[in-house]
Amino acid sequence: MNERLFDTAVQELKYKVIKELIQAYDKGLNNEIFHDIPIKIMPGPKASLRCCVYKERAILQERLKLAMGGDKDNDNVVEVIDIACDECPVDGIFVTPACRGCISHRCAEVCPKNAITIVDKHCVVDKSKCVECGKCTQACPYNAIILQKRPCVASCKANAIKVNEDKKAVIDNNKCVGCGACVYQCPFGAISDKSYILNALDILKNSKNNTEYKVYALIAPAIVAQFNYARIEQVVTGMGKLGFFQVIETALGADMTLSEEAEELCERGTLTSSCCPSFVKYVKINFPDLAKYISDTPSPMVMAGKLIKAMDPTAKVIFVGPCTSKKFEFKQEQAKDYVDCVLSFEELQAFLDARNIDVSSLEDTVLDNASYFGRIFARSGGLSEGVGELAKKHGFDAKPIAMSGLEDCRKQLLMLKVGKSPYNFFEGMACDGGCVNGALCLHHGPKSLTDVNRYGEMAKEKTVENTVKLFKLAGASDDKDKKE
């Protein structure tokens, strides 16, 4: 694996499939790709990841289908590759060899269902009685009893993943919020996101080098922490070589979202943010009584797309970001007129490499569209910081809380629900740490937070006033397209 690019070998496989698909597109797609691409990636004869090379290739064929848009009858942007989902142990309580056969039997004493007995001086769990409450795991002085969950189930804080009778992971689309945590956490890559790379390629091709219409790329501010082998200005130059007419910072839209959400907070008194579509969906599904507090302001992606379309009505807009949730957001009513396609950072890397563009060797293209506040939206707390500052200027005493990850969101929303929260503005991010740790980032880690803060400080604009003026001049700041 190229260590400069990805955290895991699963990401590397996804990248290879997308890269090969793009190169096949350039030569003219045909059905032979389902035979040729898997063999090229897994030439054999020995298997390197699975039981045999034939299974490896069969799974790659399924990855290729997802790379081409996946199941058209499934509205979810995240799907399970059944054939790849067969290596994880069954969930439940397990007794490890660390059991010492002690005589206190605390594990059996705390079990509320009498599911634990002592056989030959060792703990034995009756799975037919066990409710997996975990009390025995806490009682054992040797930590010899563990509650084992599949990584996908453990990672899904929306409780949308179950295991069926065939021991395959199943996603409940009525509960799934599209955060993509399962995509990143599944050790076998059996859960993956759909790709819209073919749509993006068509948009760029049909523009005829931006003569029929201009194609704009909207890049999420989290991108600054991704391409660690090159400067962000070089990446922008590389995107120009891919055929984009211009690269715009989504942080420009974040400035406007910040401005409008601050005004909303002053008017409504209590508000939850609308920047993360997975958080918004989580509130609507799990806390429907709190949906009245969700901001009506569109997300930064939609705001930036709206500005571009106001200035150039024939333009096409492709968002490039770190998360799966944007892949379902751009198809929603409030976004579909302003954003035409969404790609991930993983897919952008594959796109650049498929076209043999080494961004580290390119000159810089200056990028300075947004303010400090717009750029730090990429991390948890960035929005809260900005809303607090703007609300203060309006004479409103903002008491913001940054909720990092769905577990934290749940705790704070429960407090709001029962009327015991000391806060009046709730910034919700589905990913721990914010967009810098999105499921489709190239890599994750504490350095990403440092990179985003430094990127924000580099912004020439320190306030959002000039962005607000720009939106008004372009006629993109009216309220008619706010969410219902």
DSSP 19-78: HHHHHHHHH---TTHHHHHHHHH---SS-SSSSSHHHHHHHHHHHHHHHTT--TT---SE
At 367 the pLDDT is: 78
Contact 84, 56 (CB under 8 A): no
At 1 the pLDDT is: 39
Tell me the mean pLDDT per 10 residues along the chain, length 484.
72 96 95 95 89 94 96 95 84 88 92 93 90 91 90 94 89 97 94 97 98 96 87 95 95 89 95 96 98 96 94 96 95 94 97 96 84 82 90 93 96 97 97 92 78 72 66 63 43
At 472 the pLDDT is: 72
For the segment 104-114, what is each residue's pLDDT rounded down to a tens digit? 999 999 999 99
Q: Can you tell me whether residue 193 is helix, strand or coil? A: strand
Lookup: tokens for 474 = 């372009």
The secondary structure of residue 89, as a DSSP letter, is: P
At 75 the pLDDT is: 93
Cα dihedral 347, 353, 357, 360 in deg (nearest 10): 80
At 478 the pLDDT is: 58
At 470 the pLDDT is: 67
120-129 own/partner pairs: CB under 8 Å, 24+ apart: 122/95, 123/95, 123/99, 124/95, 125/92, 125/93, 125/94, 125/95, 127/92, 127/93
Name 466's Cβ contacts closer than 8 Å, sequence gap at least 6: 371
At 279 the pLDDT is: 97
164-170 own/partner pairs: CB under 8 Å, 24+ apart: 167/85, 167/86, 167/88, 167/90, 168/80, 168/82, 168/85, 168/86, 169/80, 169/85, 170/80
For the segment 266-303, what is each residue's pLDDT rounded down to a tens digit? 999 999 999 999 999 999 999 999 999 999 999 999 99
Residue 5 to residue 441: CA distance in whole angstroms: 10
Interhelix angle 53-67/33-41, nearest 10 degrees: 120
First-to-last alpha carbon distance for the chain, in angstroms, is: 46
Pairing outcome for strands 341-344 and 316-321: parallel
Residue 383 to residue 271: CA distance in whole angstroms: 12
At 467 the pLDDT is: 65
Q: Which helix (DSSP H) or strand (DSSP E) does residue 127 occupy? A: none
